[in-house]
Each structure stands twice: as structure tokens, then as C-alpha cells.
Amino acid sequence: MSKKEKVIGNGDERMPETLAQEQKRTKPELESIIATRASMDSEAKHVAYSFLEYCKSKKIVYKWSSTNRWNLRVNSKIIGYIGIGVRKHDDNSWNIILSLSELLQYEDFIQKENLEEIIYNHIHYCENCNKNACSRAAVILGKELHSLCGISLCFKNPNASALESIMKILDFRLAISHGTANRPILDPATQGLVCINNKLCVTNASDLDGKANKNISHLFDGKYNSYFYAGPYESFMSTGDNHSIILELDKPVELTMYSLVTGLRLDVPSKWTLYGSASKDEPWTQLDTQDKFPKPVTLYTENAFKVSTPKTYKYYRITFECTSFVLSQVHLYINSQ
């Protein structure tokens, strides 16, 4: 039986292997697909090969991920992908998609390099949003844009000039310093302080209803590769604009500082307030409030905040004001004894 045939039913019927099935089995190299792509002329192939050479020089890994799609990865993080006729086998297009979420925090660079028009002209709009299946908006360089699921740029059939813009954007993106799950960037403001958030000091973590789950405990497990997620799409859904987490400590302490550590995504809370209380039944006293997350937001990076009115409490509560966000850890700091 040919490798491109598949037996179905009782074995008497055969059907050809689909493109998706074939690529899932073979995981084709991108170079070989480009070389055999009749719909790409010599100029398009030259641009594509030039981009792959650039990726190799910058240690950007490209590997097959799904039908006619190869993810672009740096240190295991996906920063975009290459699509060759993604929608159907006879689609003549090829695309380079770049994640834009980190770059948008550096408006000075965008303005200096005259990238505003390039960004606006290549914003990647969601097809489902256009069909009213979902609807998201974002303010990008001062303009509110709609039909966005994730913020990315799409360069369709890029020529040599577009490739220069792509490489300029990636060069800056690669220069952005961020931590990893194994080596997070810690805030130097906490040097000399004692971090007390571990399973011995934080004896219980729950929401306002007293419910605890693995999602909440991830914030205090000391593992940066785990994370707390607030939003509507994962198993530990937490809907609404306010997300409160109550911490019970093994003994009363006076917090000097606390910190939020980002994780594998750049979705962060926009506002939050820290409270303290002697018991669950007593009123909460406001200790600190923040109305914005420090920029730039980078992966696996700690941002520490002083407790403006410190006092000794056994219970602490953080109320986040944001519909959806991700954090890997919350650190609690006291003065060294």
C-alpha cells in the first residue's frame, strides 16, 4: 500500500492521505517546501532563503508545527511563524507573521526607525473577528484597532524591501532583555530583604469565597514555570474585572515590600491593591495601591513595590483589577532579622 493511501471502513475502501496527514507524518523541512513550490518565483524564493539565512545567523529556530506552518522560536519562545500557502494546498501566498506585543512598548524606537506606517499597514487581523465570532480591540500607537486576537504583523509575499523591515524589527526584538523560567530577572530593590513566600510561610491561599485551587497556589510555589491565570479560557476560569487572593501566613509579619513576577505571557494586571488584616473576620486595611504595571513588561521579570503603610498582619489580600492576566509568582519581603 502506498504511503499516501489510508485504509478506512472494513479495509475495502481507500482514500488518499491529506496534506495535513502527510506533513504530520513527515514534518517537512521548510527549505525543501520552498524549493519545490512552483507558485513561488525566483525572486520570492530568494527572499525566503535570505530570511532563513538571517534566522540561522540570529539563532532563530524554525520548525514545522502544523500544515504549511513553521514556528519561529528564540530560546523556546515563539516569536512568530512562516506560512507557505497555509489555508490550502494551491494557495500561492507565503507569509511571515511576527508577534508585536513586546515591541509596542518601545514607541521611541518605532518613531526613530519610522516604523509606524509599516506597523499599521501590516497589522494581522483575525478572520473570526471579521465574521463576528469574537471581537477584540487594542490601542496601537495611539489608534484603536478592532478585530485583533493577539497583536502581530503579517507580511504577505514580502519583497526585499519588506524583508529589511522584518529584520530591523526582529533585531530590536532580540535585543530586548527578559528572563526565563530557569533564570528570572529579579528586582535589585529587594536585595538585603528576606523573601518569605514559600509553603511554610504561606499556609493557605484562596479567593474571597475561601476557595483554593492549584491555579492560586502556583503564585507561591517558587516555580517560575507555573503560573496564575485570570481569564475565561483555561481550566481555572476566573471571570470578571476583580480577582482577589487572600494569603494566610504561619505567623504575623510586617511586609516591607512585595513583588509580582511575570511569566510566559505579557498579559499583566493593570491595577491592584494590597490589604492587611489580623484575621479573616476583621476589616481589611489598605497598605498599597498601584494603578499601572511598570513598563516595559518583559517575560519572567520581577517588579517590586514598597508597602506604603507597613504594619504587622497575619492575613494579606491582593485585589487585581483586570479582566485577564498571567503572573508566575508573588513574592513577599520582610526586613532581615
* Cβ–Cβ < 8 Å for 329, 257: no
CA 159 remoteness from chain centre: 29
Are 104 and 198 found together in one domain?
Answer: no
Provide the pLDDT for residue 291.
94
Dihedral angle sign, alpha carbons of residues 24, 26, 27, 29: negative
Provide the pLDDT for residue 57.
97
Task: Among 151, 175, 199, identify where a domain stops.
Answer: 175
Alpha helices in 101-146 (DSSP H): 107-112, 116-121, 127-130
Q: How far apart are CA 100 and CA 204, in angstroms?
A: 38
Produce one character per residue of 116-151: b if its CB has 16 or more CB atoms within 10 Å, e if not. eebbeebbbebeebeeeeeeeeeebeeeeeebbeeb
Which residues have C-beta within 8 Å of that of residue 161, sequence separation ≥ 6? none
Are 58 and 137 found together in one domain?
Answer: yes
Are 204 and 241 found together in one domain?
Answer: yes
Q: Which H or E run contains 168?
A: helix 160-175
**Residue 125 maps to a domain:** yes
Are 192 and 322 found together in one domain?
Answer: yes
State how many domains the chain has.
Answer: 2
**Residue 289 maps to a domain:** yes
Residue 187 phi/psi, 5-degree rounding, is: -75, 120
Are 201 and 123 found together in one domain?
Answer: no
Are 108 and 200 found together in one domain?
Answer: no
Provide the pLDDT for residue 150.
65
Q: How far apart are CA 187 and CA 195, in angstroms?
A: 12
Within the chain, which residues score under 70 in pLDDT? 1-13, 86-91, 126-140, 145-150, 199-200, 233-240, 337
Provide the pLDDT for residue 7.
47
Are 194 and 166 found together in one domain?
Answer: no
* Cβ–Cβ < 8 Å for 307, 260: no
Q: Which DSSP state fits 34?
A: H
Are 162 and 232 found together in one domain?
Answer: no
* Cβ–Cβ < 8 Å for 176, 102: yes
**Residue 182 maps to a domain:** no
Residue 58 phi/psi, 5-degree rounding, is: -100, 5
**Residue 112 maps to a domain:** yes
Domain that holds residue 76: 5-175
Closest of 190, 259, 184 to residue 220, by C-alpha = 259
**Residue 222 maps to a domain:** yes
Provide the pLDDT for residue 167.
95
**Residue 330 maps to a domain:** yes
Are 208 and 88 found together in one domain?
Answer: no
Are 46 and 163 found together in one domain?
Answer: yes
Provide the pLDDT for residue 25.
94
Are 29 and 169 found together in one domain?
Answer: yes
Provide the pLDDT for residue 4.
45
Which residues have C-beta within 8 Å of that of residue 91, sequence separation ≥ 6? 85
What CATH number did the domain enclosing 239 receive? Answer: 2.60.120.260
**Residue 28 maps to a domain:** yes
Provide the pLDDT for residue 3.
44
